[in-house]
Amino acid sequence: MLKRDKVVNRVLSVIFIFLSLAWIYPMFMILMDSLKQERAITTSSAFQLPTADTFAGAENYVNAVSSKGFLQAFGYTVLITVTSVVLILVCCSMCAWFITRINDRFSKFLYFLFVFSMVVPFQMLMFTLSSIADKLSLNSPFNICIIYLGFGAGLSVFMFCGFVKNIPVEVEEAAMIDGCNPIQTFFKVVLPIMKPTYISVGILETMWIWNDYLLPYLVLDRTKYMTIPILIQYFRGSYGKVEMGPMMACIMLTILPVIIVYLVCQKYIINGVVAGAVKG
Amino acid sequence: MKKALKKYWAVFVLPTLAAFIIGFVVPFVQGLYLTFCKFVTIDRATFVGLKNYAYALKDATFGHAFWFTAAFAVLSTVLINVIALAIALALTRNMKGANVHRTVFFMPNLIGGIVLGYIWLILINCALSLMGKNLIALNATYGFWGLIILMCWQQIGYMMIIYIAGLQSIPSDYLEAAKIDGANAWQTLWKVKIPNLMSSITICLFLSITNGFKLFDQNLALTGGDPGHASEMLALNIYNTFYARSGPQWKGYGQAKAALFCILVIVISMIQLKSTRSKEVQQ
């Protein structure tokens, strides 16, 4: 029995090595293509490795960064993601704690609305939301976080509420009796307890906002601001002839930081995803 | 404590509530109202009753998009979950390098839909042209399978993570008991592992089916709906009705389609809620 298990494991590990390699291949292909000269990237030669003849060095990357607006797009994406996620974490956790602890009719109604908003697809609101954003001038990367807070509140409040329910009230009551006001109680007692939830909600929201395409595309003032997904889409849409080299370089520059962050904080990301899925 | 807390409602609830009203409640209510209107901008809308819905239901591209999406959602759900569960079972066997494989399989999840779409557009077009076939934009069948492959590549890792967590939470006594009773691997899988995984399975099934129905970015980047509207899914069809056509009637049609789409997604989620609730009672 044991011997058979060992054989099965050996066979499986060989299969999985090939499977894993196949899994990374698409990314590897883009990396290789991004190092080739423009003329060597055609539809039918995307699988070919760069040769001494077609190797372009960092040329495509220089081009992408210097003339294709990659750096601005990257900067705006970072700005939008960071401000939105911070805002969502702070506001939604406070709101979730409040409505769970008060738990009157208004809180219950609000909770129901938040849960409902998780289900509604973005297409239902996209037109009205973008014109409201225009009217309230929420169409810049500095203000769009308010839209994200509003639209993303559902999932975050839901997840925070699920966690707050398991915190014993006694701890908070003790803090209040010792003379903390609710704000102090929240930041000194509740917030530290909720740390794991902050991490999972933060990761889920980051993954969403960093990669989001349609919301910023419709809400942002497109003549001035682009995020990375918009930039990549713009490459094919508006340039007439697609410049494959810089596009590949842009794709590489987009996924590299994500992969590095993932490899460094893998444990948190995977735990965050599991926690989010189990509750969502 | 409640009394003291209530005084601070403005600090705790107001920021989220205000943003929620701007970012969800108002656009949703307005959007709902606009399904009954002919409009180009929100301020200039004339009431037309149910005409938009009638058009949306008659629109052949919308009907086609529905069936395309439904077929896609069902097939991708089955494939993703079967493969993800198989991988999860293999990776929980104390295999060498299991962690590395887990890391690799999950990686595509972190890449956004638009970027994923382009990576696979390049890859699939290259494969097709080496085989001497038409490119993906010229054949809706290739588009369909391309989307399936892409979604499998992206989502299998995610579902695998949830299944691994589920498998690891099965008490080892159960597995030992099964072994002592003489169950073989196949029996252990069906009689012990899968029944104990039911909650993970429900979560994954509904996650992948709603993801399938709501799919937009990948569809836009990989096929863009080409050829014609043949590989257009519901979300992209709605988007195109809104923004790809000029004429005062289209936005109303698009909004009505969006409302129908919204109802569809809500119904799916209600079924999900019900089935998870009934599972909880059993346990």
Residue A26 parent element (H or E): helix A2-34
Reply yes or no on whether the pLDDT at B281 is more than 80.
Answer: no
Together in a domain, A22 and A150: no
Return the CATH number at A238.
1.10.3720.10
State whether A196 and A99 are in the same domain: yes
- Residue B2's Cβ-count burial label (10 Å; 0-12, 13-18, 19+) is exposed
Q: Are residues A241 and A198 in the same domain?
A: yes
> How close does chain B come to A162, measured CA to CA in Å?
16
Measured torsion, CA atoms of residues B234, B237, B243, B249, in degrees rounded to the nearest 10: -100
Q: What is the ipTM of this complex?
A: 0.88
A213 pLDDT more than 80 = yes
Residues 187-246, chain A, touching B (beta carbon < 8 A): 207, 210-214, 228-229, 232-233, 236
Ordered alpha helix ranges (H), chain B: 2-6, 9-12, 14-20, 26-34, 51-58, 60-91, 98-106, 113-130, 140-168, 172-180, 185-188, 194-196, 198-214, 217-222, 234-243, 250-282
Structure tokens at B168: 């690891």
Contact assignment for A211 to B129 by CB distance below 8 Å = no
Q: Which of A44, A128, A129 sits opposite B129 (nearest CB)?
A: A44
- Write down which residue in A12, A28, A57 finishes a domain: A57
A175 to A94, A160, A193: CA distances (angstroms): 17, 20, 14
- Residue of A17, A43, A114 lying closest to B129 (CB–CB): A43
Summarize pLDDT for A184-200 with one digit per residue, the tens.
Answer: 999 999 999 999 899 98
pLDDT reading at A248 higher than 90: no
Q: For tokens 């896609």, name the residue.
A: B72
Residue A265 maps to a domain: yes
Percent of residues, chain A, with pLDDT higher than 90: 43
> Is residue B280 very low, low, confident or very high in pLDDT (cuts 50, 70, 90)?
low
Checking if the pLDDT of A167 tops 90, the result is no
Residue A238 pLDDT > 60: no
Shared-domain flag, residues A167 and A239: yes
Domain ranges of chain B: 61-232
Residue A47 sits in the same domain as residue A93 = no
A269, A137: one domain: yes
Residue A19 and residue A91 in one domain: no
Range of the domain at A33: 2-57
Place of tokens 């970015």: B217
Any domain includes A212: yes
DSSP-assigned beta bridge partners for residue B37: B47
Query: B252 with B35: CB under 8 angstroms?
Result: yes
- Cα–Cα distance between A62 and B200 in angstroms, integer? 46
Model pLDDT, residue B32? 93
A26–B contact, CB cutoff 8 A: yes
Regarding whether A255 and A123 lie in a shared domain, the answer is yes
- The answer to whether the Cα torsion of B182, B185, B187, B193 is positive or negative is positive
Whether residues A77 and A44 share a domain: the answer is no
Which among A24, A44, A277 is the nearest to B207, CB-wise? A277
- At B100-140, the pLDDT tens digits run 999 999 999 999 889 999 999 989 989 998 888 888 888 88
CA dist A234 → A224, A229, B113, B224, B265 (Å): 13, 8, 14, 13, 30
Query: Which SS3 state, helix, strand or coil, does residue B45 take?
Result: strand
- A203 found inside a domain: yes
pLDDT tens digits, one per residue of A106-123: 999 999 999 999 889 999
Provide the Cα torsion B30, B33, B37, B41; round to 10°. Answer: 0
**Chain A residues with CB-CB distance to B23 below 8 A:** 129, 146-151, 153
Q: Does A136 touch chain B (CB under 8 A)?
A: yes
> Burial letters for A12-45: b for 16+ Cβ neighbours within 10 Å, e otherwise?
bbeebeeebeebeebbebbbbbbbbebebbeeee
Residues A169 and A39 occupy one common structural domain: no
Same-domain pairing of A113 and A242: yes
Examine residue A62 and state whether it is found in any structural domain, yes or no.
no
CA A199 to chain CA centroid, Å, is: 13
In a domain, A63, yes or no: no
pLDDT at residue A85 is higher than 90: yes
How many domains in chain A?
2
Q: Which residues of A touch B110 (CB under 8 A)?
A: 207, 255, 258-259, 262, 269
Q: Which listed CATH number (2.60.40.10, 2.40.110.10, 1.10.3720.10, 3.30.70.2190) goes with B61-232?
A: 1.10.3720.10
Confidence band for B49, pLDDT divided at 50, 70 and 90: confident
Distance CA A107, CA A103 (A): 5
Distance in Å, alpha carbon of A235 to nearest chain B alpha carbon = 10
Q: Answer yes or no: is pLDDT of A214 > 90.
A: yes
Nearest C-alpha neighbor of A224 from the set A128, A158, A100, A140: A140
Which of B220, B255, B262 is closest, CB to CB, to A120? B262
Tens-digit pLDDT profile for residues A56-73: 778 888 888 887 788 999
CA–CA distance from B275 to each of B201, B206, B271, B281 (Å)? 11, 10, 6, 10
Q: From A88, which residue of chain B is nearest by alpha-carbon distance?
A: B16
pLDDT, residue A240, reads 58
Residues A99, A43: one domain? Answer: no
Tell me whether residue A14 is in a domain. Answer: yes
In a domain, A191, yes or no: yes
| pLDDT tens, residue by residue, A2-52 | 677 788 888 888 999 999 999 999 999 999 988 888 777 777 777 888 887
Collapsed DSSP state (helix, strand, coil) of residue B181 = coil
The percent of residues in chain B predicted with pLDDT above 90, rounded, is 49
In a domain, A122, yes or no: yes
